[in-house]
Amino acid sequence: MSRKIGDVILDLQNISLRFGGVKALTDISFNVREHEVRAIIGPNGAGKSSMLNVINGVYHPQDGKILFRGQERKKMEPHMAAVQGISRTFQNIALFKGMSVLDNIMTGRTLKMKSNLLMQALWIGPARNEEIEHRRKVEEVIDFLEIQHIRKTPVGRLPYGLQKRVDLGRALAMEPQILLLDEPMAGMNVEEKQDMCRFILDVNDQFGTTIVLIEHDMGVVMDISDRVVVLDYGKKIGDGMPDDVRSNPEVIKAYLGVGH
Amino acid sequence: MPKQANFAAVDGLHTFPRLLFHHAQVRPNAPAMREKYLGIWQTWSWLDVAERVRALACGLAALGFKRGDNLAIIGDNRPHLYMMMTAAQCLGGVPVPLYQDAVANEMLFVLQDAGIRFALVEDQEQVDKLLEIQEQVGTLEHILYDDPRGMRHYTQTFLHDVHELMEMGRVHDRNHPDFLIAEVEQGHYDDVSVMLYTSGTTGKPKGVCQTHAAFIAAAQGGIAVDKMTADGDILSYLPMAWVGDHLFSFAQALVAGFTINCPESGETVMSDLREIGPTYYFAPPRVFESLLTSVMIRMEDAGQFKQKMFHHFMVVAKRCGASILDGKSVSTADRFQYWLGNLLIYGPLRNVLGMSRIRVAYTAGAAIGPELFSFYRSIGINLKQLYGQTETCAYVCLQPDGQVKPDTVGAPAPGVEIKIADNGEVLVKGPMLLKGYYKRPDATAESINADGYFMTGDAGFLDEDGHLKIIDRAKDVGKLVNGAMYAPNYIENKLKFFQHIKEAVCFGADRDMVCAFINIDIGAVGNWAERRGIAYSGYTDLVAKPQVCELIQQCVEEVNAALANDAMVADSQIHRFLVLHKELDPDDDELTRTRKVRRNFVAEKYKVLVDALYAGKTNQYIETEVKFEDGRRGKVAADLKIVDAKTFPIAKKAA
């Protein structure tokens, strides 16, 4: 692969997150480099989703610093993360079930639209040109994910695997710099998983998008990620190349099960 | 080798490149090709296409493509792939389209056989296949690809983006402005224009070499019969390696000058069909069948009033629709009813099917059920059948408008001569015959007889109107003891058109009467039984019910009644039959993997039953070993009832 992994784009330093007395994350540090595929793994309740939510600004850690492109990030609203170029997909698909695939992906473009509501409603002047431009971007995403045949189908009528793909499509429509994927392969069959893996790698390869993903399927994680961070009970217990992580005794104990 | 009829057009338009540049002159801005890209239909005019073909051809020449070279084309129906065919022809090369879903090893034989130096493929998937077998195809020098997606990391110098090739060609064209015209002028109507490989179900695939003259003749004939014009549209979605697509989407489009439309992807064909609303459409019978099923299922969910209206007007359509389409006389009352039905039902239905603008639709490839065929004709869709094979440019018989009979494939097309051999085999002669099989003079000699007729391998006869009726493969056709022709497939197909009958096996060669094994369709008959409150535990039990026997008997007798009216096959009425106690199954070697009956094997395995049929017994006990899907073996035993079916007096004796 000719893809070059660049400098650190996101640096998390000594992050701790508490909900009342519950410690979700304790003193976690790791970084994400530009253009890499970074996986977060760990058993149930290890704090993986919390970690993602910290990255995109839904939760605010009590301690620790987040550096994004070298700048320390202030406490902010989630939509600011989106403005900065961080988009995500959800573990439980959060699409608009009654809307078509096309419209759902179009919602991913909302932040990029400049004309006001009235102009959009009347579809005049710049609003019109703008929509045509956005539609073209959306069509590129549809083409990329090979979902042309369901363009006009309401999302609620689609099988699960395709809904996941639409979810990814909406995140991609934002043209993100960092893409957060929360269990993109959960509940899929082998074939759907293979498809999804290929799309994730293609996104990474073709657009150079940095990807942070949470995944349970160890085979998938080991195959597609450049570096893996392992959490257990809110603590970091491993970090490194997939092979190093796989042979780390603590990780084996916590995650792959005792008795190896 | 057969002598080709001199079909050179007087106006000099006797090769496909000449036709293309002709259209670019007389109708430069008319649409030649459309392709849906990023959700929007993009149009190329004839002028655009000619410019691109020119660039492609010059690009090929710059890469070293020479007269007589073969160029493989692998991919879905894409404009550049069609353009490349003409581009290769400009230089006197031969395009060789391959089936795009074949795996690399299946392509290997054709690539080696045709000595491919250049290949144009659609995308990364096909490039990977070629790279996999590249070492074994020693001749392969350059691979061109249409879609650059995913190709960024391929650094091999023999890979070229087709867009770069065109740029190269444009430069070449500027430096040698007279080069291409001179190349095109060297083209001769008797040159091979395309090589299509037969599927090779028996032995290795053979490359069928067709000339410009042959395909142009076939295209002109079809265009004349159907009065096709330049303002038509066709949806090109069938494999480019198939002779039918080459005839409709390439040859006829270039001769008549109509527009070809490439769907977005394989899955979007149905919605693209609706958007384009083609005037000319081809589909195999199963597509028409699944369309009808989807309509019927949606009708079941409609409201009471709509359902009533639908069924009422379908009865009207059945009564007079086909006659109105054929231009026959129909009473004024019926005409009014049909007009109303057209307004309320048929028109909207055609619209939903994407067939509002259809002037001609064709089906071929397999037997189409008469009911299905009549349904489409009755709602005003001019669905017709044609007959032909790769060796005859898919052009032997066409059903002319106004003379469409569901059970024949139509009259011999203009310029085609048909002769029936003594063994019933259909022999054809005409300008559309193959020039020969590639590097296989032995096979060519075998398939064309001394009088220059091509032996189709199909058995058939001409009816009283001179329409050809195909009944079977010639090798399966036998004779009854009294000398009458016996075509098992023909009878079996008639039986299988009943929804209750899934499979049938007929016996009769060298015997005094025809007898049959029947397999019921467990879904359809099971449903039928439930509605009548007949309880059953499984297939074997259901078959043993006397009511089921009666049901099948009715079907068999209907077939007999139909056969009696048909002089050629009237002696083949089914005298006795039995319903088999188990389904014929590929796991038990009774069917091939493509679900065709292995007749001899079945006859051998169930010899007891065959003997019982002919010995006049009324029942027979049989025990059969079966293999289950998990590999276990078991036994099925039953005492089968043998039924005498009513036969009918023969309407008129064969001449």
pLDDT of B10 higher than 70: no
Q: pLDDT-based confidence at B11, cuts 50/70/90?
A: low
Higher per-residue confidence, B424 vs A37: A37
Name the minimum distance, in Å, from the CA of A123 to any CA of chain B.
Answer: 20
Name the band, by pLDDT with cuts 50, 70 and 90, for residue B201: low
* pLDDT number for residue B2: 33
Taking the Cβ of residue B271 and every Cβ of chain A, the question of whether any pair is shorter than 8 Å is answered with: yes
Q: Is B421 exposed, middle or buried (0-12, 13-18, 19+ CB in 10 A)?
A: middle
Judged against a pLDDT cut of 50, whether residue A124 lies above it is answered with yes
Q: What is the mean pLDDT of residues B429-449?
A: 92
Comparing A110 with B351, the larger pLDDT belongs to B351
Q: How many residues does chain A have?
A: 260
**Between helices A190-207 and A160-173, what is the axis angle to 10°?**
10
Q: Which conformational region is residue B179 in: left (phi greater than 0), alpha (psi within -120 to 50 degrees), or beta?
A: alpha
The residues near A64 (Cβ < 8 Å, ≥ 6 apart) are A12, A13, A14, A15, A16, A27, A28, A29
The band of B594, judged by pLDDT with boundaries at 50, 70 and 90, is low
A202 touches chain B (CB under 8 A): yes
**Mean pLDDT of all residues in B419-434:** 91
Which candidate, B518, B502, B507, B506, places its Cα nearest to that of B550? B518
DSSP designation for B358: -
Asked whether the predicted pLDDT for residue B392 surpasses 50, the reply is yes
Percent of chain A at pLDDT exceeding 90: 40
A136–B267 CB contact, under 8 Å: no
**CA–CA gap between residue B255 and residue B18 (Å, rounded):** 10
- Residue B38 is encoded by which pair of tokens? 């990023």
From the list B83, B93, B86, the residue with the least C-alpha distance to B63 is: B93
Q: Say if the Cβ atoms of B39 and A2 lie within 8 Å.
A: no
Average pLDDT for B286-314: 86
Tokens read off for A54: 């910290």
Cα B15 to Cα A6, B4, B54, B85, B449: the distances in Å are: 57, 15, 15, 12, 28
Across the range B104-111, mean pLDDT stands at 90
> Given the structure tokens 């073996």, which residue do they identify?
B633
Q: Report residue B598 as tokens.
A: 């292995």
Secondary structure of residue A229 in the 3-state scheme? strand
**What distance lies between CA B280 and its chain's CA centroid?**
15
* pLDDT score of B1: 30
Helix (H) or strand (E) holding A31: strand A22-33
To 5 degrees, how large is the angle CA A180–CA A184–CA A190?
Answer: 155
Scan for tokens 């299509």, then name that residue.
B196
Measured between alpha carbons, how far is A93 from A184 in angstroms, rounded to an integer? 10
**Three-point CA angle B310, B312, B314, nearest 5°:** 65
Q: Which of B91-95, B146-150, B386-390, B527-531 has the highest mean pLDDT?
A: B91-95
Instruction: Give the angle subtended at the CA of B459 by the CAs of B458 and B464, to the nearest 5°.
Output: 125
Contact status, residue B89 vs residue B97, Cβ threshold 8 Å: no
Sign of the torsion angle spanned by Cα atoms B68, B74, B80, B86: positive
Higher per-residue confidence, A126 vs B146: B146
Of B127, B15, B111, B45, the closest CA to residue B72 belongs to B111
Say if the Cβ atoms of A139 and B265 lie within 8 Å: no
Q: Alpha-carbon distance B24 to B181, whole Å?
A: 14
pLDDT in the model for residue B19 = 94
In whole angstroms, give the CA distance from residue B369 to residue B87: 41
Other C-beta atoms closer than 10 Å to the C-beta of B284 total 15
CA distance A133 to A122: 17
The beta-carbon neighbor of A140 closest among B38, B150, B267 is B38
pLDDT of residue B445 exceeding 80, the answer is: yes
B268 and A148: CB-CB below 8 Å? yes
Report residue B641 as tokens: 């009832």
- Are A139 and B38 inside 8 Å of each other by CB? yes
Token pair belonging to B298: 């949606």
pLDDT of A220 strictly over 70: yes
Q: What is the DSSP string of B162-200?
A: HHHHHHHHHHHHHHSTTHHHHHHHH--TTSEEEEEE---
pLDDT reported for residue A260: 43
Q: Do B40 and A139 touch (CB under 8 A)?
A: yes
Q: Does the pLDDT value for residue A258 go beyond 60?
A: no
How far apart, in whole angstroms, are the C-alpha atoms of residue B8 and residue B595?
44
How many beta carbons lie within 10 A of that of residue B363, not counting itself? 21
Give the integer Cα–Cα distance in Å for B622 and B635: 10
Output the CA torsion sign for A152, A157, A160, A164.
Answer: positive
The span from the CA of A167 to the CA of B515, in Å, is 60
Convert the pLDDT of each residue in A64-118 to its tens digit: 989 988 888 877 777 888 888 888 888 778 899 999 999 999 998 888 887 777 7
User: Per the CB < 8 Å rule, is B267 touching A148?
Assistant: yes
3-state DSSP helix/strand/coil % of chain A, to nearest 5: 40, 25, 35
Going by their DSSP bridges, the two strands A63-68 and A235-240 should be labelled as unpaired
Q: What percent of chain B has pLDDT over 90?
A: 60
pLDDT digits (tens, 9 = 90+) for A5-46: 888 999 999 999 999 888 899 999 999 999 999 999 888 888
Judged by phi (left if over 0) then psi (alpha if -120 to 50, else beta), residue A233 lies in left
Q: How many helices (H) and strands (E) does chain B have?
A: 23, 28
Q: Hey, is the C-beta of A133 within 8 angstroms of any chain B C-beta?
A: no
Of B39, B153, B267, the CB nearest to A139: B39
pLDDT band at B272 (very low <50, low <70, confident <90, very high): very high
List phi, psi (to 5°) of B94: -125, 115
Whether the predicted pLDDT of A253 surpasses 60: yes
Q: Is the dihedral of CA B155, B160, B164, B170 positive or negative?
A: positive
- The answer, yes or no, to whether residue B496 has pLDDT greater than 80, is yes
Phi, psi of B39 (to 5 degrees): 80, 0
Task: Give the Cα separation of B70 and B73 in Å (integer).
Answer: 10
Q: Report CB contact under 8 Å: A149, B150.
A: no
Helix (H, G, I), strand (E, B) or coil at A259: coil
Phi, psi angles (nearest 5°) of residue B274:
-65, -40
Question: How much is the ipTM here?
Answer: 0.75
Which residue has tokens 């309407």?
A: B651
Is B39 touching A (CB cutoff 8 A)?
yes
CA separation (Å) from B368 to B136, B284, B318, B384, B493? 42, 9, 17, 10, 9
Is the pLDDT reported for residue B654 higher than 80? no
Task: Among B38, B153, B265, select the one facing A2 at the smallest CB separation.
Answer: B153
Identity of the residue numbered B141: E
The model's pTM is 0.82
Burial (Cβ within 10 Å: 0-12, 13-18, ≥19) of residue A218: middle
Size of interface A-B (CB pairs under 8 A): 31
Minimal CA separation from B160 to chain A, in Å: 19
> Which 8-state DSSP code applies to residue B448?
B
- What does R_g of chain A's alpha carbons equal in angstroms? 19
Instruction: Check CB contact under 8 Å for B39 and A148.
Output: yes
What number is the average pLDDT over the span B461-472? 88
pLDDT exceeds cutoff 70 at B599 = yes
